[in-house]
Amino acid sequence: MRRERRRVEGGCMRRTTIVGLDLVRFSAAILVVLYHMTYWISAPDPTSPPRNITGGVFDFSRFSVNFGWVGVEIFFVLSGFVISYSASQSDAFGFLKGRVLRLAPAAWICASVTLLVSLAIGYVGVADGVLEWTRSVLFYPSGPWIDGVYWTLGIEVSFYLVMFALLWSGRFRHVEAVAATIGLVSTAFWLLWLLAPSDALTSLAGKRLWALLLIRYGCDFTVGVMLWLSMVRGPTKARLAVLLACCLGGVLEIAYTAQAERIPVGGAAIAAWLLAIGLMAASVRWNARLAAWPAADRWARRLGLATYPLYLTHQVVGSALMAALWRLGLSQLACLLITIAAAVTFSVVVAEAWEPALRKPLARLFGLIERPARWLLRAQSA
């Protein structure tokens, strides 16, 4: 068993690309895209950006992917896995630098594109648009943002701050205990919501602060952390117990979201979430076989990098494109398929051309401050 664990760790986690994780990440983004472009665009809801942008002309109610919102919960599990691994390979400054270089360039580019499109179609005024753009590029924890999808970034940053604090304080060895605490507190809240339901608990569950404190989604991140620990250091009874408990918490959170959004698809969403977790575990276990196919390795990497800009641009920009295609006389299905293809293509361009061009000067800036920043972090953690 120890020999097998070493093989898994050496054969998979030393690689920069875990083929299956990139594919799960991209699939989660496609789920969210399909949710917004089929269900949300058809919903008779005045708060729906896709419906408002397209004028309510689309009706995909017969085959809408109304459970696709669970792609966000899948993202959070993936972050728990990937970010804990990244943090384990770095110090506080290196982790901070890596996160900023990964998140900021794409967010700045995508927010700017969304602002320009929003202004061009009259979806937002100049003053409001600039304010929402500013909130988005600064990763401001509360909205409104230039596109509603930016709501998840503040929650991701909350988790990153936990990892950063552990590295900064020299206590990353306690990551398992900290993650378990976060996940079990989150799970306890969802059990309380289930067993002692009240309007107060339901209201708390939907609060932005509750999400930023990792109480609502903490179970998702902890599932990822425990999965990473189990895969690379070996499963223990304690890890598996926390993993299973937080899976229960994750299931309850999905059930709450389905209920709160009045979408009777809790079962489908739960199944998709659990399937994604299973595929994550399988992708790490058999990564060497998957990566043996050069084309699969290369394309999985490309799609994985494109996932972030795809998520950030598909709703407002994608809806504007769908509206334009509809005015040209295309069918609903053609509008949908062309928009998804265009969104993916644009996201690949952002990930492979525009984002690296912006990342280079930002990386040089980090290079200039690296020595004093490392000294300051060490001095304050001493």
- Residue 6 is predicted with a pLDDT of 36
8 A C-beta contact, residue 166 and residue 175: yes
- Quick check: 354 pLDDT over 50? yes
Distance CA 114, CA 116 (A): 5
- How far is Cα 324 from Cα 31, in angstroms, rounded to an integer? 23
13 pLDDT above the threshold of 60: no
Q: Long-range contact list for 196-204, CB < 8 A, 24+ apart?
A: 202/256, 202/260
Q: What is the pLDDT of residue 292?
A: 73
Most distant CA pair in the chain, distance: 66
The answer, yes or no, to whether residue 379 has pLDDT greater than 50, is: yes
Tokens of 204: 């708390």
pLDDT digits (tens, 9 = 90+) for 150-199: 999 999 999 999 999 999 999 999 999 999 999 999 999 999 999 998 99
Is residue 8 very low, low, confident or very high in pLDDT (cuts 50, 70, 90)?
A: very low
Owner of token pair 């998840």: 152
From its phi and psi, is residue 55 left (phi > 0), alpha (psi between -120 and 50) or beta? left
Number of domains in the chain: 1
pLDDT value at 3 more than 80:
no
Helix axes 266-285, 237-260, angle to 10 degrees: 150
* CA distances in angstroms from 282 to 16, 38, 227, 286, 287, listed in the order given: 17, 30, 11, 6, 8
Which of 156, 162, 126, 131 has its CA nearest to residue 145? 131
231, HSE (Cβ side, Cα atoms, 13 Å)? 29
Across the range 78-96, mean pLDDT stands at 94
> What is the domain range of residue 40?
2-381
**Spatial separation of the C-alpha atoms in residues 228 and 250, rounded to whole Å:** 17
What is the average pLDDT value for the chain, to the nearest integer?
A: 91
Q: Is the pLDDT of residue 320 over 80?
A: yes
> How many beta carbons lie within 10 A of that of residue 338, not counting itself?
14
Half-sphere CA count of 251, side-chain side, radius 13 A: 15
Which pLDDT value is given to residue 378?
75
- pLDDT reading at 10 higher than 70: no
**pLDDT greater than 50 at residue 253:** yes
Give the Cα separation of 300 and 26 in Å (integer): 9
Q: What is the C-alpha to C-alpha distance for residues 211 and 300, in angstroms, rounded to an integer? A: 30
Cis peptide before 361 (omega within 30 of 0): no
* pLDDT value of residue 5: 37
pLDDT category, 289, cuts 50, 70, 90?
Answer: confident
Confidence (pLDDT) at 381: 62
- How far apart are alpha carbons 254 and 194 in whole angstroms? 12
Instruction: Kindly state the DSSP code that residue 171 receives in the 8-state scheme.
Output: -
Q: Are 286 and 19 in contact (CB under 8 A)?
A: no
Q: How far apart are the first and last CA of the chain?
A: 39
Q: What is the pTM of this model?
A: 0.92
Question: What average pLDDT does the segment 36-45 reach?
Answer: 92
CA distance 362 to 382: 28
CA distance 29 to 36: 11
